[in-house]
């Protein structure tokens, strides 16, 4: 099965919904206001661990316009499958500070907010534990890491490989908790009609959310209708349902009327997921020529006491470099904290920061150019399985990027380029992300007058998916993009993979191509065009695909200046060169790559959720204090790609691009800081205080 080319794919088509968005015609979840809608506001726990001893809602209920205050003492019982974070108000127990402990329902949002502040709760507080450390006595080995990877792997004899090494690196890298902050907060509008419920929801997959809501409320799936036509970002936090949507559906059930609920920016730091902090020990050994003799990557991270989430932080290390001896391991501790979840490139992003930082340290120790060291250790096959990659163009990314960045003019000596108080340096890091797809279904039909409609429950969270799918469908049908309408974002449409794991477009596109090609076959067989329709399910394609390792790869180059007096770090320019299969839409693809790199710069220099240990909560839970890059922080970024079509992975020849842009960026920035200053900072973010502490009196 292959797409019929008409030239739509590969064209820089502007977003189909652009006009609707800039004129306000495109409506997001919270903008739907059904008749007689009420407003819900959640009340959060003010302790990190314990239980509700006494709950008093009289003052809140006395406010005119307040109709319900729901808590564990009067909440409807949810289904048995509503566990973990989704077991909203099912227990008086408090597992973390900020957990949902009540829902106030009122006629207006201001009234609900006011009443929420009048709810009185007495707690039986218990001592809490919220600090991740590598010597924590409750560390354990999870059965699997996200989603189903082996927790530990071992090849050869790492200790012997390290002992025989001529040059070695043994370093520990730390990344903080980081919080997703999409522009549109988590929001839901729930409308019950008898035993059926419709939910306008901001999410990354209507099909996934439909099933989870149905299970939580003990409903048949067809009784739940989830609509998410336009979504203002997610970064993984909207990939699975969060407590907000369960609270909205519950409140609407109790109130007997439609209910609107949106998380505040502050609440999103508690109940919508975050990237786990990590502590990572990297041990690398190399011979006199710089060839790796051993790699060991050990990771410590956290989960909650409500449910387990084990991030796959060391898995990318298993795929990157040729070595006869390789060990990776993950250890987890359940703390009194919210449950971590997906955040753009979960696992690969923090894991590759540590690995690529260690590779830079090894290059310095060996006296080898960092680009050359990576090329020297390029594997001929997948280091983990011994199988050939479907395609692997990392070396080309490194070479092309080095040439375009001017890398070969670089003086490797650190700490010698200075202009007044500013020190200058450059760094490089490799990137990788798995290329996968999951089962999806699509319908294609003739609308008349030469127009076609394609339907699939895909999600466009701002990535341009709606536009790219239109191009895919147009080529498969052999028509212009203007002749195709793609309908997405509704659980009533054919079920589809969520927008996550860089699997959205490849999963949906495979189903769309199949449906469109079947429609062409029906028409060719004589089925009247007026009303012809075809359905396609990729289940057998996905199950029977050749089990070969498939990954996108890239190389990131960064130039920074560091102020020796203030400790400020500025990224002067950055270049990413990627090999991500066939690029469907160059315009939206470039935006994805640049967006990922921008987020990676934020990871390197800005983002950090600062824990208030005595209270067990994060101090900087708003965008005034939780810093992300502003326009002034991004001086000059470029994203390019090499021509790589991988027909062994899907009919599009494409790989996912939503996440690889962030992978590697932080390591490249960190290595550039070392090149500028001569000091190595192994904890993110690289804020001025850390720079000044590292520099000490050296400048």
519 near 474, Cβ under 8 Å? no
SS (H, E, C) 403-439: HHHCHHHCCCCCCCCEECCEEEEEEEEEEEEECCCCC
- 144/151 Cα distance (integer angstroms): 5
Nearest to 611 by CA among 132, 200, 253: 132
Whole-structure pTM value? 0.97
Strands (E), 465-610: 484-487, 533-537, 551-563, 569-579
What pLDDT digit, counting tens, does each position of 203-229 carry? 999 999 999 999 999 999 999 999 999
Distances (CA, A) of 77 to 69, 209, 216, 252, 254: 15, 19, 9, 14, 11
The helix (H) or strand (E) run that includes residue 364 is helix 348-366
- 121/633 Cα distance (integer angstroms): 44
Q: What interhelical angle do 465-477 and 504-524 show, nearest 10?
A: 30
pLDDT of residue 6 exceeding 80: no
What pairing do the DSSP bridges indicate for beta strands 422-434 and 441-448? unpaired
What pLDDT digit, counting tens, does each position of 102-142 carry? 999 999 999 999 999 999 999 999 999 999 999 999 999 99
Position 4 scores a pLDDT of 56
429 near 352, Cβ under 8 Å? yes
pLDDT band at 3 (very low <50, low <70, confident <90, very high): very low
Nearest to 380 by CA among 389, 371, 372: 389
Position 698 scores a pLDDT of 61
Could you write out the DSSP letters of every residue in 1-69? --PPP-S-TTS-PPPTTHHHHHHT-S--GGG---TT-EEEEEEE-SSSSEEEEEEE-HHHHTSTTEEEE
609 near 620, Cβ under 8 Å? yes
What pLDDT digit, counting tens, does each position of 165-182 carry? 999 999 999 999 999 999
Q: What DSSP state is assigned to residue 632?
A: G
Position 448 scores a pLDDT of 83
659 is catalytic: yes
Position 10 scores a pLDDT of 95
Catalytic residue among 85, 298, 348, 659: 659
SS3 139: coil
pLDDT of residue 529 exceeding 80: no
Position 528 scores a pLDDT of 82
The helix (H) or strand (E) run that includes residue 270 is helix 268-271
CA 299, 301, 305, 306 torsion-angle sign: negative
Burial 644-671 (b: 16+ CB within 10 A, else e): bebeebbbbbbbbbbbbbbbbbbbbbbb
182 near 463, Cβ under 8 Å? no
Q: What DSSP state is assigned to residue 140?
A: B
Position 354 scores a pLDDT of 98
Position 2 scores a pLDDT of 47
What pairing do the DSSP bridges indicate for beta strands 451-455 and 484-487? parallel
Residues 6+ apart with CB under 8 A from 482: none
Beta-carbon count within 10 A of 152 CB = 14
Helix boundaries (H) for 626-687: 665-677
The helix (H) or strand (E) run that includes residue 596 is helix 586-605
- 28/187 Cα distance (integer angstroms): 9
Could you write out the DSSP letters of every residue in 252-264? HHHHTS-EEEE--
Nearest to 363 by CA among 407, 328, 400: 407
Position 697 scores a pLDDT of 56
Q: Determine the average pLDDT of the residues in 567-574.
A: 98
C-alpha dihedral (371, 374, 377, 382), degrees to nearest 10: -140
Mean pLDDT for all residues in the chain: 96
- 695/683 Cα distance (integer angstroms): 15
Could you write out the DSSP letters of every residue in 459-475? --SSSSHHHHHHHHHHH
Distances (CA, A) of 32 to 10, 112, 246: 35, 18, 18
79 near 87, Cβ under 8 Å? no
Position 699 scores a pLDDT of 47
Beta-carbon count within 10 A of 438 CB = 18
Length of the chain (residues): 699
pLDDT of residue 462 exceeding 90: yes
Burial grade of 569 (CB within 10 A; 0-12, 13-18, 19 or more): buried
pLDDT of residue 531 exceeding 60: yes
Higher model confidence: residue 70 or residue 698? 70
Q: What interhelical angle do 206-216 and 243-255 show, nearest 10?
A: 50
- 535/454 Cα distance (integer angstroms): 10
Q: Determine the average pLDDT of the residues in 347-364.
A: 98
Position 80 scores a pLDDT of 84
Nearest to 627 by CA among 670, 686, 680: 686
Q: What DSSP state is assigned to residue 184?
A: S
Q: What DSSP state is assigned to residue 576?
A: E
What pLDDT digit, counting tens, does each position of 291-330 carry? 999 999 999 999 999 999 999 999 999 999 999 999 999 9
pLDDT band at 397 (very low <50, low <70, confident <90, very high): very high
Position 645 scores a pLDDT of 84
Residues 6+ apart with CB under 8 A from 421: 563, 564, 565, 566
What pLDDT digit, counting tens, does each position of 660-694 carry? 999 999 999 999 999 999 999 999 999 999 999 99
What pLDDT digit, counting tens, does each position of 581-625 carry? 999 999 999 999 999 999 999 999 999 999 999 999 999 999 999
């Amino acid at each position: 099965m292959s797409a019929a080319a008409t030239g739509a794919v590969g064209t820089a088509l502007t977003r189909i919904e652009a006009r609707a968005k800039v004129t306000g015609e495109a409506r997001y979840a919270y903008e739907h206001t059904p008749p007689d809608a009420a407003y819900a506001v959640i009340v959060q726990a003010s302790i990190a661990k314990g239980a509700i001893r006494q709950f008093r809602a009289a003052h809140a209920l006395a406010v005119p316009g307040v109709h319900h205050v729901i808590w564990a003492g009067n909440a409807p019982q949810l289904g048995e499958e509503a566990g973990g974070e989704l077991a909203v108000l099912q227990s008086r127990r408090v597992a973390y500070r900020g957990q949902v402990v009540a829902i106030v329902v009122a006629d207006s949002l201001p009234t609900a907010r006011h009443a929420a502040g009048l709810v009185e709760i007495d707690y039986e507080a218990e001592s809490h534990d919220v600090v991740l450390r590598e010597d924590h006595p409750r560390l354990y080995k999870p059965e699997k890491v996200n989603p189903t990877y082996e927790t530990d792997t071992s090849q050869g004899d790492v200790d012997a490989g390290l002992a025989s090494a001529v040059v070695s690196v043994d370093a520990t890298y730390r990344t903080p908790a980081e919080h997703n902050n999409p522009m549109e907060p988590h929001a839901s509008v729930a409308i019950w009609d008898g035993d059926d419920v419709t939910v306008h929801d901001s999410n990354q997959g209507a099909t996934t959310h439909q099933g989870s809501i149905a299970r939580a409320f003990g409903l048949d799936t067809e009784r739940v209708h989830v609509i998410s036509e336009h979504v203002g970002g997610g970064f993984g936090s909207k990939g699975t349902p969060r407590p907000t949507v369960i609270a909205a559906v519950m409140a609407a059930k109790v109130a007997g009327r439609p209910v609107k609920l949106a998380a505040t920016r502050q609440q999103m730091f508690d109940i919508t997921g975050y990237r786990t902090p990590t502590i990572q020990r990297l041990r690398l050994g190399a011979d006199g020529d710089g060839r790796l003799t051993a790699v060991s990557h050990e990771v410590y991270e956290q989960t909650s006491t409500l449910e387990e989430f084990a991030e796959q932080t060391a898995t990318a290390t298993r795929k990157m470099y040729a070595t006869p001896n390789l060990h990776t391991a993950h250890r987890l501790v359940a703390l009194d904290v919210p449950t971590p979840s997906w955040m753009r490139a979960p696992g690969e992003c923090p894991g590759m920061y540590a690995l690529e930082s260690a590779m830079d340290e090894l290059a310095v120790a060996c006296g080898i150019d960092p680009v050359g060291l990576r090329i020297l250790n390029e594997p001929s096959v997948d280091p983990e399985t011994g199988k050939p990659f479907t395609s692997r163009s990392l070396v080309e990314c490194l070479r092309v990027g080095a040439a375009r960045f001017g890398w070969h003019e670089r003086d490797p000596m650190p700490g010698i380029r200075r202009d007044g108080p500013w020190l200058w340096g450059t760094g490089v890091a490799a990137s990788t992300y798995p290329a996968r797809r999951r089962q999806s279904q699509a319908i294609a039909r003739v609308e008349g007058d030469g127009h076609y409609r394609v339907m699939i429950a895909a999600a466009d969270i701002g990535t341009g998916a709606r536009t790219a799918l239109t191009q895919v469908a147009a080529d498969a049908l052999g028509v212009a993009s203007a002749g195709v309408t793609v309908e997405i974002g509704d659980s009533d449409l054919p079920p589809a993979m969520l927008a996550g794991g860089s699997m959205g477009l490849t999963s949906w596109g495979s189903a769309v191509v199949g449906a469109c090609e079947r429609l062409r076959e029906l028409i060719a067989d004589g089925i009247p065009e007026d009303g012809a329709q075809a359905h396609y399910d990729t289940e057998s394609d996905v199950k029977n695909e050749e089990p070969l390792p498939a990954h996108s790869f890239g190389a990131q180059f960064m130039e920074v200046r560091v102020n020796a007096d203030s400790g400020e770090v500025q990224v002067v320019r950055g270049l990413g060169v990627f090999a991500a299969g066939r690029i469907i839409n160059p315009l939206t693809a470039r935006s994805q790559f640049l967006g990922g790199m921008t987020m990676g710069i934020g990871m390197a220099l800005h983002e950090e959720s600062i824990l208030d240990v005595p209270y067990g909560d994060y101090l900087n839970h708003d965008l005034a204090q939780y810093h992300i890059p502003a326009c002034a922080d991004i001086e000059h970024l470029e994203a390019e790609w090499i021509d790589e079509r991988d027909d062994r992975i899907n009919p599009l020849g494409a790989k996912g691009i939503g996440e690889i842009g962030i992978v590697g960026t932080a390591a490249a920035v960190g290595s550039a800081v070392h090149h500028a200053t001569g000091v190595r900072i192994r904890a993110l973010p690289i804020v001025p205080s850390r720079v000044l502490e590292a520099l000490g009196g050296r400048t």
